[in-house]
Amino acid sequence: MYKEEYKQYLIQVKKTSENTLAAYMSDLAEFDAFLQKSGVSPLTEARNTEMVSYLLQMRRDGKSAATINRKIASIRMFYKYLLEQKIISENPVSGIKSLKIEKKGIEYLTIEEIDRLLSLPDDSVKGKRDKAILEVLYATGIRVSELVEVKLSDVNIRMGFISCMGIHSKARVIPLGRPARAALEEYIYDIRKVLVRGNTEEKALFVNYHGQQLTRQGLWKIIREYAKKANIENRITPQTLRNSFAVHMVQNGADLKSLQELLGHEDISAMQIYLSETKNRIKDVYDKTHPRA
């Protein structure tokens, strides 16, 4: 009940991205299923005690703190909407706090590992497309989910930049380095037309063998393929190249404000993790090399 209205609110008013929307609705559906098993229906009948029970159940199921916090946030947003619409008078998530998450270092590749990864695609049609994908990911720090949505018209080869629509439908323009620009130019003018086979209706920048927009899963499969060849498969996630871009930028003197704009983060505090990683590396180098460390 009210889930469909809420979904339309997220789409039309909040301009929520497709992937975020799917996550919100999935989290809400899981909570709804839990309530029904507990004899509580519809969602508007939930109280604080049900929310506490759900939290305990998730912990018993072994869900990570990060996953639990995301689900709590999703449910909290739904009931905030119901309150604003005056559908309910009490928020069942009130007083429920997010779990503390132990801060861990981020995973990123060294410059040598990046060079090895980017050198692997061959001169075939697939290889040249993949080369452009990997170069753009590392050159821009763009999210995998953002890259698959980039259109051919979002690229300006002559000026050397790419436009993308980030979270909360916030657009940003990101410069392209020379290697990425060269790989992208060859892909657009020589390779992409082979893949789309004259289909002028397809607007996506990166396409698969059927000439259709590449999916997140397809792009992630490409990254894993080359990571395996480079013997770094166990260190690759969809976030790894983005982290590598950010850490290498900071190591080479980029200021956090500029990095925030390039990555599309609304809060500059999110940049601190990259700064911390760089400081940790400097300390490691000092400890290993200074005679009186």
Average pLDDT along the chain? 86
Most confident of the ranges 32-46, 59-73, 175-189, 271-285: 175-189
Domain assignments of the chain as residue spans, ordered by start: 3-84, 111-287
Asked if residue 292 has pLDDT above 70, the reply is no
Calculate what percentage of the chain has a pLDDT beyond 70: 90
Q: Residue 137: what pLDDT?
A: 95
Mean pLDDT in residue range 136-159:
94
Asked if residue 279 has pLDDT above 60, the reply is no
Calculate what percentage of the chain has a pLDDT beyond 90: 42
pLDDT confidence bin for 251, thresholds 50/70/90? confident
Q: Residue 159: what pLDDT?
A: 93
pLDDT confidence bin for 169, thresholds 50/70/90? low
Mean pLDDT in residue range 262-291:
63
How many residues comprise the chain?
293
Asked if residue 152 has pLDDT above 70, the reply is yes
pLDDT confidence bin for 98, thresholds 50/70/90? confident
Architecture of domain 111-287: Orthogonal Bundle (1.10)
Q: Residue 45: what pLDDT?
A: 86
pLDDT confidence bin for 293, thresholds 50/70/90? very low
Name which residue leads in pLDDT, 5 or 284.
Answer: 5
Q: Residue 286: what pLDDT?
A: 41
pLDDT confidence bin for 102, thresholds 50/70/90? low
Q: Residue 290: what pLDDT?
A: 42
Name which residue leads in pLDDT, 291 or 187.
Answer: 187
- For the stretch 36-83, pLDDT in tens is 988 888 888 888 888 899 989 998 998 888 888 889 988 999 999 888
Rounded distance, CA 17 to CA 29, Å? 18
- For the stretch 105-137, pLDDT in tens is 688 899 999 999 999 999 999 999 999 999 999
* Domain at 3-84, CATH class: mainly alpha
Q: Residue 278: what pLDDT?
A: 60
Asked if residue 92 has pLDDT above 70, the reply is yes
Q: Residue 129: what pLDDT?
A: 97
Q: Residue 147: what pLDDT?
A: 94
